[in-house]
Structure 1
């Protein structure tokens, strides 16, 4: 879908919605800094990340959809999601910041996102270290590898 008139019409709407979803996720993180065991805030963040991934898929923005799904998976698969400590919340914040930055880098003419995936990979590794996982047998992506 990343070419022609459809792209030019869909991108501004996607970016506006993505901005709202990321702002909602940031709000949830702030709430979790104050109230650690708020399952509603965790669920809200997971829903926002899922919606962002789905909308990115519609525009063939694979890097954004995969990264959003990976973050969602790490939260959903946490050994104890209601006990996220400051370092885990900070690592999640860094992921959301990177997502916001990547949205700004989408080429409005071509829909391409020139991306060095090493920062995504590093942040996922950091989140994985900060949020112990209950089951490593299923991964949404074994590696973050994108074709542009």
Structure 2
């Protein structure tokens, strides 16, 4: 769907309402993880919420929202130990969710455009990746075995 025309203006309020609910659910999961670190259900819920947000943003051609949501979800899903996130990792994830909420508010309701500096997204993704050790990519591990 393109970000113009009547379809866009009709679809945006519904998207924003759903996105707000998904972000609230993700925040609740983060709050829960501050209390109970090893709750895989909270991790799974947050990943599912971020994935659904990305899919919904794709439908409205909101690429910046979609890609950022997917990057966050990927970093959680690819964590070496996702159920052992420490306070700094949870705080970095909270900063990402806060930026997502702020970006949703900046979507132009007439055009669907989101003017933003992607540097803030990049720096937050970098902060999360520093706080959440990632598994080695399967391709890289297979490639390294072949090289030996």
Q: TM-score, length-normalised on structure 1?
A: 0.92
Q: Which residues in structure 2 correspond to 1:1-148 (within 5 Å)?
A: 1-136=2-137
Q: d(CA) in 2 for partners of 1:100 and 1:31?
A: 19
| Structure 1 unaligned regions, length at least 5 | 139-148
| Structure 2 unaligned regions, length at least 5 | 140-148
> Which one has a larger percent helix, Structure 1 or Structure 2?
2
Q: Alpha carbon RMSD of aligned pairs, Å? A: 0.9
- Number of positions where the alignment pairs a residue of Structure 1 with one of Structure 2: 138
Structure 1 residue ranges, 4+ long, deviating more than 6 angstroms after superposition: none
Cα distance, 1:109 vs structure 2: 0.5
Q: Larger radius of gyration, structure 1 or 2?
A: 2
Q: TM-score, length-normalised on structure 2?
A: 0.92
Residues 46-76 of structure 1, C-alpha deviations (whole Å, 9 max, x = no match): 0000000000000000000000000000000
